[in-house]
Amino acid sequence: MLIGKARRMLGGLVAASALMLTAVPAHATYEAGLEAYKNGQYAQALDIWRRFAVAGDIRSKKILGDVYSGKSLEVASGAATPLEEIPVDNVQALLWYTLAAYHDFSAYQLPTAAEVNAQILAEARLTEIRFRMSSGDVSKAENLISRTFESGSAYDIYRLGEMYQKGAGLDKSNTKALQMYALAKERGVGEASAAYEFLEPLMNKKEIETALDKAVDWQPPLPPEHTGKTRQQEELERLKKELEEIRMADALEAVSDIDVELIQRSLNALGFRAGSIDNRLGPSTRAAIRRFQYSTVARDADMSEDEKQAVVTGVLTPRQTVDLFGDAARAEHPMSQYVYGIMHVRGIGVEQDGEKAVKWLNDAADHDLAIAHYALGVVYRDGTTGLNEISPDERKSAYHLARAAALGYTPANDALRRLSFEYTRDIQ
């Protein structure tokens, strides 16, 4: 089974309060990010741009929108560099484009032409990015935008109020706008006082009360180190997941019965139409696998449509293989029940659990599946380890081995003879 290798190089929003410009190497600049990107050092380029973006550099904000949207960059000699190493992330793209499009130049004596151009280009990209995103992903991006401004200065909070009032980059909301104006006004932003006085008469009493109550209860967002996982934690989880996938892949290879034919039968049992059972991974089987893969993520509200489609590869991962047989077993497909029982015997993708193993193997054996009776004979002959251990039971072992032999499973004959010999010798 193939293991998916795509990984996000840098994930999640880093709030402005969590990244200090002093943490950037002295030689690092926006242009240094371009140079790193040109040399294929994508993680370093993203890190430089992200740090400068949260420090207030509009060009870095805009270029982060470019890389996360999948737009090729003009880096040197007019040559476009493909973004094969950086997965498209529309949520991050909309976040950074919005921050660039509504960048505040009031602190500048005179912005450069490159900075003004970055703002114009970012604003032009907003509609296109929003069009290709689901409403859920847009909401995620808007929440990140709001948290970024709320984590900033009092003037950032005032600007957030403006965005809510105008519906610029965020859904229009006079209530949220008045809340932000009230917060900024308390912190000494003169423009916020004027904006508050202008907006309040346009709102009804209930809206004003709601805004002021929210302002009283408001707390600035905590920095990522207090709300999210550290990079070390994320790396540890990634390594654990990778090791688990490797372990599962090795274990699945050890189960000789898990082949394309069994996968086809399980897919058909679940109604995914894998076609004829030919033990070949042809177009029909791949299409059925894709339908199964999409069904497993379609109910995940935290995944975007792009992310859901990204896992529809037509090749099962070890985890998806386990899920497939588990679903088919619950749909009362005998061979899948047998395979799922073996997974519980060996701890393949599931907890090693003797009782569950026997349960699934018995379900399969109830359909007179010879190999399931044989597996039960072996389980009762040797016992199990792990959770809910099954103790050896020669009588039950003999019954199931004999049943498997009667159903034509020839390896059961030898196993039954050996069991009889060992049992007689123990008695003597």
One digit per residue, pLDDT tens: the chain, 428 residues? 322 322 222 223 233 322 223 333 334 478 888 888 888 888 888 888 888 887 778 899 999 999 888 887 765 444 444 444 677 888 888 889 988 888 877 655 577 888 889 889 988 988 888 888 888 888 888 888 888 888 777 888 888 888 888 887 788 899 998 999 999 888 888 888 899 999 999 999 999 999 899 888 888 765 554 445 556 666 667 766 666 666 666 555 655 456 788 888 888 888 888 888 888 878 888 888 888 888 887 776 666 777 677 677 787 877 788 888 989 999 999 999 999 998 888 888 788 899 999 999 999 999 999 999 999 999 999 888 888 888 888 889 899 999 999 998 888 888 888 876 554 444 33
pLDDT at 333: 92
3-class secondary-structure state, position 333:
coil
Residue 95 phi/psi, 5° resolution?
-55, -55
pLDDT at 315: 78
pTM value? 0.45
| Residue partners of 204: CB distance under 8 A and separation at least 6 | none
User: Beta-strand (E) ranges in 195-327?
Assistant: none
| Residue partners of 364: CB distance under 8 A and separation at least 6 | 334, 335, 337, 338, 341, 372
Write out the two tokens for 195: 């904006």
Q: Identify the CA nearest to 189 among candidates 178, 181, 197.
A: 181
Write out the two tokens for 184: 């900024």
231-427 CATH fold: 1.25.40
CB 400 within 8 A of CB 373: yes
3-class secondary-structure state, position 35:
helix
C-alpha 4 chain-centroid distance: 12
| Distance (Å, whole) CA 205 – CA 221 | 28
pLDDT at 198: 92
HSE (CB half, 13 Å, CA atoms) of 156? 17
Helices (H), 90-204: 90-101, 113-131, 135-150, 154-166, 174-186, 190-199
Exposed/middle/buried for 52, CB within 10 Å: 0-12, 13-18, 19+? buried
Local structure of residue 75 (DSSP, 8 states): E
3-class secondary-structure state, position 288:
helix
| Residue partners of 34: CB distance under 8 A and separation at least 6 | 45, 73, 75, 76
State whether the Cα torsion 98-228-46-302 is positive or negative. Answer: negative
3-class secondary-structure state, position 248:
helix
pLDDT at 215: 87
| Distance (Å, whole) CA 9 – CA 42 | 8
Given the structure tokens 């005179």, which residue do they identify? 110
HSE (CB half, 13 Å, CA atoms) of 317? 18
Strand partners, 387: 353
Domain ranges of the chain: 1-152, 153-228, 231-427
Helices (H), 347-393: 354-365, 370-382
Local structure of residue 407 (DSSP, 8 states): T
pLDDT at 12: 32
3-class secondary-structure state, position 229:
coil
3-class secondary-structure state, position 81:
strand
